[in-house]
Chain A
């Protein structure tokens, strides 16, 4: 596969969240505000990128019978690094994200990319694939959080945007069901643009 295609594909046409419907739980949980969603997206990008890279480097040395355990060790290590980093430098955000940073380890996108791509491709390709999938995930998270924070709190990144014009906050936006509906609407728009994705 060409490198550029390898990079752009997970961003739109094969987006992990809205096409493969992976990583939905965290997309609902951390998208109340833009800042945690943004940080979460970057964290997952870091983990997918480097777990892909490491597993791609190890792919010829790991017996296939124990590969899941090895993957878990690699992913868990990276998640702990991210978690400790957030606690050290972004304590507030880390508190808002609470368990969801630790739960990156169970994010289907991470394990899915390692299994489906990294084990069969060269390190650089795997790394690019990891970055792209992480960014594809991050993009949807930020998009959902944009609408939820704007209409739920009237702010963006904590700055007052429309609340000053007498906007009445829509508290349903702060509840997880609304995140699901927004993801659904994004999928709706996405599929009506990419007609080949529509199920018959």
Chain B
């Protein structure tokens, strides 16, 4: 345990009153990143195990890996690179700068705020920093990634008090910022391909304009279609979903209800004739599956009560399909629908709790 000894040895330097005491939060952040904290909460009832927020976040990062790795391969595949490994390597080199920029910007701001406010560094950004490049088109300029990350962390998170206090999902906020601020760089025909000169609409855009797409549903399921890096492969996302559900990190109620809500509304629109493709297409193309598994289930911004989770999930799915079908200006509705429901989640919880109180009060009355 050489590392442990080293950390213990330099600890006084960074503690209150030490030479580098002002870097206390930074040191603390690195220490808990390396080691499980040896302190336990003394007040209240707690389940005692070694899972702190960092471990939970790491599970989410692991769950994101299949979609990320496949996304890297898909970047090369869409750019027309032959062979699995060369295509993956091409995509990896394209993707790496985006990930680095996102992490460096976000963590720098988080560290600065933690230092200034003298609280511990929160690890929420571990996931957000990976999610942000995964929901962007591959050709987006790096300064847009940096700017939208900064916006999401400062306006979306630190203003509300940091990790756990945010109203909106930071990664989606970053995407929303980039989408509305730099629309030409974020949507259209040319942004989905890393190769110069190659253009083409995404499956979602084709579906909304022509009612069909040039790929088969199987291609869309496996993910060999253009789109934001992480969102194309429903298969890889489902593997991630399995990891999240197995470890109990994400709520199955939300995941299931988002899919049910989307499917139900997709079916409804299919029946009334607003769309000319089967309802399940909605679940395969665009960011629907990615949003349902990794964004809507964000424990901070989603509804907290069980009944609330069902309502929240159903409305996320339904609204996403509604925006996709009815509003021609936004072919992708998942981002807006999740952000919208993020804002409504506390309200849903409030009514669920009120209803429960009313029900229990009625019970008391009946007993009398």
Whether B159 lies near A171 (C-beta < 8 A) is no
State in angstroms the CA–CA spacing of A170 and B183 once bound together. 9
Q: Name the interface residues of A181-200: CB closer than 8 Å to any CB of B.
A: 181, 184-185, 188
Give how many A residues have a beta carbon under 8 Å from the other chain's beta carbons.
10
- Stretch of B163-171, B174-182, B240-248 that contacts chain A: B174-182
State in angstroms the CA–CA spacing of A42 and B152 once bound together. 35
**Residues of B contacting A184 with CB < 8 Å?**
159
Whether B159 lies near A168 (C-beta < 8 A) is no
Say if the beta carbon of A175 comes within 8 Å of chain B: yes
Whether B159 lies near A172 (C-beta < 8 A) is no
**Residues of A contacting B180 with CB < 8 Å?**
171-172, 175
Minimum distance in angstroms from B136 CB to a CB of chain A: 16
Contact with A along B205-249 (1 / 0, CB 8 A): 000000000000000000000000000000000000000000000
State in angstroms the CA–CA spacing of A184 and B151 once bound together. 14
Give how many B residues have a beta carbon under 8 Å from the other chain's beta carbons.
8
Say if the beta carbon of A179 comes within 8 Å of chain B: no
**Residues of B contacting A175 with CB < 8 Å?**
180
Say if the beta carbon of A132 comes within 8 Å of chain B: no
A-B contacts counted at CB < 8 A amount to: 17
**Residues of A contacting B182 with CB < 8 Å?**
168, 170-171
State in angstroms the CA–CA spacing of A175 and B182 once bound together. 12
Whether A172 lies near B177 (C-beta < 8 A) is yes
Chain B residue with Cβ nearest A175:
B180
**Residues of A contacting B155 with CB < 8 Å?**
181, 185
Does more than half of chain A's interface fall in helix, strand or loop, or is it mixed?
A: helix
**Residues of A contacting B185 with CB < 8 Å?**
168
Contact with A along B174-208 (1 / 0, CB 8 A): 00010011110100000000000000000000000
Say if the beta carbon of A173 comes within 8 Å of chain B: yes
State in angstroms the CA–CA spacing of A181 and B176 once bound together. 14
Q: Name the interface residues of A140-194: CB closer than 8 Å to any CB of B.
A: 168, 170-173, 175, 181, 184-185, 188
**Residues of B contacting A181 with CB < 8 Å?**
155
Whether A170 lies near B159 (C-beta < 8 A) is no
Chain B residue with Cβ nearest A177:
B180
**Residues of A contacting B183 with CB < 8 Å?**
171
Chain A residue with Cβ nearest B155:
A181
**Residues of B contacting A172 with CB < 8 Å?**
177, 180-181
**B contacts, CB < 8 Å to A:** 155, 159, 177, 180-183, 185
**A contacts, CB < 8 Å to B:** 168, 170-173, 175, 181, 184-185, 188
